[in-house]
Amino acid sequence: MLRNATSRLIAAYLIAAAFSTGLALGFVYWSAGGVIDAEARQVVEAELRGLADDYARGGAAGLARAITRRLETPASRPEGRDAVYLLATPGGARIAGNLARWPADAAPGPGWVTLQLYRVGAEAPTTISGAALRLAGGERLLVGRDVAARAAFDRTLIRALSWALAVTAALALGTGWLLTRLVLSRIAEIDRAARRIMGGALEQRVPLRGAGDEFDRLAETLNAMLDRIAALVGDLRMVTDSLAHDIRSPLGRLGRHLEAALDETAAPDERRARIERALGEAETVLATSSALLEISRVEAGVGADQFAPIDLGALARDMADLYAAAAEERGAAMRCAAAPGVVVQGHPQLLAQAVSNLIDNALIHAKGAGPITLTARREGGRAVFSVADHGPGVPEAERARVLTRFSQLDPSRGDGGAGLGLALVAAVAQMHRAEIALSDNAPGLRVTLRFPVAP
């Protein structure tokens, strides 16, 4: 059972709890004994003072009568059972009291003494604790208490504390065992789910019990991670299939063009044209590979440490100026509506690349049907950037799909793209924790990026 970390942790806790309980009970025993001893001393010292007063008033005879009266106290009272008195001559002979003779090792004077001696009529020795005093006439006075009652109290208290410690330890062990079983059962559930997933059942998830405890929160985190992994695996499969399809075709055409260019019987112009077409296919493959690599780098968060303040209004104006000539060649125009002070934290090059992809997409599909408008503004404390055109737009049912890799509404249109432009925009938006939305520009398409509120 102690082979797992949870059991070892609970065992360490139980040992610490038992040790702490033992210390607490030991302190109780020590404190109780100290209180009893202090009270006994106070009683003995008070009796010494009282008997000394009796001696001062009536001499040795008066003191002897006082001691006799005290010894005649009913046995039901503590002082009658445990009290020890002895009045002796200066030489140690007994005058009054319940001790046979003055103990040899009890020197009169200040201080507390513990002695073993015989009571009058007793066959076994008695251990007492008390104090001795030399009176004005030379007589000796000893007052004490039999420690048998104190020893009996100690034994009773030790038994009670031992039982308390045993019950506490038993409860702690039971609680520890129960906690261990509960914790290990939850860990076993997570382990079984993980092993099923490792076995290929990627749809499996860690079960939730609805308790809202740490294990449920851990399960929710693990399930979110598994959802993300499943999505990435699905994307990887889709990318692999799409990449194989999109690269196989240009590579096949590249090979055919090169084979034709090797035909020595063909005219030089035809061979040159074949080589140029082969170079074009090679550039297509390189562009597709570069775009995929860039998307992968962005999704991996490469460059997040290069974030800096970016004025989206200035970015909109710069990109509008940069594409003004290209738009004019296609019969379109660039417009900019940029509010001042729209600043976000972002990667300058990646945001510029994303805006460039949106403008290229608008130029390709709008085909001069109205202006292309870049907008930067504040909306509810959030920075909003949008690119709008007046082309054919994207059907609402297809808007989520066109943000994925290799997605083209009409691959037969032959615009030379691989369907990666908007996928890069979506990856850049995710990197900047921005929301991306495609909407109807009536007519055309509006792509909007909503950045989080600046801290």
pTM of the model: 0.49
pLDDT at 78 over 70: no
The H or E element that residue 317 is part of is helix 312-322
Per DSSP, 454 falls in state P
The per-residue pLDDT for 76 is 42
Residue 388: strand pairing partners: 373, 446
Task: Cite the beta strand spans of 350-427 per DSSP E.
Answer: 372-379, 382-388
Could you read off the pLDDT of 367-381 as tens digits, one per residue?
A: 767 899 999 999 888
Given a contact cutoff of 8 angstroms between Cβ atoms, the answer to whether 90 and 136 are in contact is: no
Q: Which residues of 53-74 are buried (b: 16+ CB within 10 A; e: fewer)?
A: ebbeeeebeebbebbeebbeee
pLDDT confidence band for 413 (50 / 70 / 90):
very low
Average pLDDT (386-398) is 89
CA distance 130 to 143: 6
Per DSSP, 411 falls in state G
User: Residue 85 phi/psi, 5° resolution?
Assistant: -135, 145
User: Residue 267 phi/psi, 5° resolution?
Assistant: -70, 150
Could you read off the pLDDT of 8-61 as tens digits, one per residue?
A: 767 777 777 778 877 887 787 777 777 777 777 788 888 888 888 888 888 888
Could you read off the pLDDT of 271-314 as tens digits, one per residue?
A: 888 888 878 777 777 776 676 677 667 766 667 778 889 999 99
CA distance 67 to 252: 127
